[in-house]
Each structure stands twice: as structure tokens, then as C-alpha cells.
Amino acid sequence: MSVQLNHTIVHSRDNRESAEFLAHILALEVGPEWGPFIPVSTSNGVTLDFATVPAGSISVQHYAFLVSEEEFDAAFEKIRSAGVRYFADPHAQHPGEINHNDGGRGVYFIDPAGHAMEIITRPYGG
């Protein structure tokens, strides 16, 4: 069997709020609560298990999602219409912009726990 990422735990101030936020933006399903986790699974089988932890113990992470052009349009419209801060770069030097890296489109946005989420239409280096 080849090695595959199966799941990861995403620390949040409110696991339901963060799971529902990401699921809404990416048009994914929020799974049933399982112990301390609220899962959101991607189409390639990776599950993000959102867990509520004290705000002071959250280390900001980065999560990138490869999406189609149509999915990008839909997600970006949700980001904009919700007034979510977004940037063209990981250092937030270009607020209110998207990037066109590798001939695609990409944007970074901040989730309710402060994590840097990213959607891209082309893999980096592709």
C-alpha cells in the first residue's frame, strides 16, 4: 500500500463553527460529531477533524485545497460575500487580491480560529 494522508486534527476555538465555515466555503459535508471531533472530508478521502481547544493553545496552521476552476469561483464568491479577509500571498502582503501562480488561480483566507486556508486551481510547480 502506498502512503496516504488519512486525517489530521485542526485545533479551533469552536469545532462546530470552524468545521461549518470550511464546509460552507468548499461545498463539503460536515460529518457527525465523533467524540471531541467534527469531521469534514475532502473528495480524495482526507478528513479534517476539528477539535475545540483553548484559544491560547492554537498554533496557526496552513491548509491548502486543490479545486477546479468552477469550485474556485463558487468558493471565492462565498469568501467575498461573507466579508472574509483574503490575500494573494501567504504573508498577507496583498490583501483583497488573488494570485495566478503556475497559470492557475489561488487565494488565502482566514478561518475562525486564525488558520490560513488556501484554495488553488493548479498544484504548485505544475
Any idea where the domains of the chain sit in the sequence? 7-53+60-120
The per-residue pLDDT for 1 is 77
C-alpha cell at 37: 471531533
The count of other CB atoms within 10 Å of the CB of residue 95 is 11
The per-residue pLDDT for 37 is 98
φ and ψ at residue 100, rounded to 5 degrees: -130, 40
Residues in contact with 84: Cβ distance below 8 Å, sequence separation at least 6, in sequence order: 25, 109, 110
Grouping H, G, I as helix, E, B as strand and the rest as coil, residue 119 is strand
Closest by CA to 123, choosing from 102, 109, 97, is 102
The count of other CB atoms within 10 Å of the CB of residue 76 is 18
Each residue's pLDDT tens digit in the chain (126 positions)?
799 999 999 999 999 999 999 999 999 999 999 999 999 999 999 999 999 999 999 999 999 999 999 999 999 999 999 999 999 999 999 999 999 999 999 999 999 999 999 999 999 986
Strand partners, 12: 52
Q: Could you give the CA distance from residue 113 to residue 51 in angstroms, rounded to a whole number?
A: 11
Q: Could you give the CA distance from residue 93 to residue 115 in angstroms, rounded to a whole number?
A: 16
User: What class has domain 7-53+60-120?
Assistant: alpha beta
The per-residue pLDDT for 43 is 96
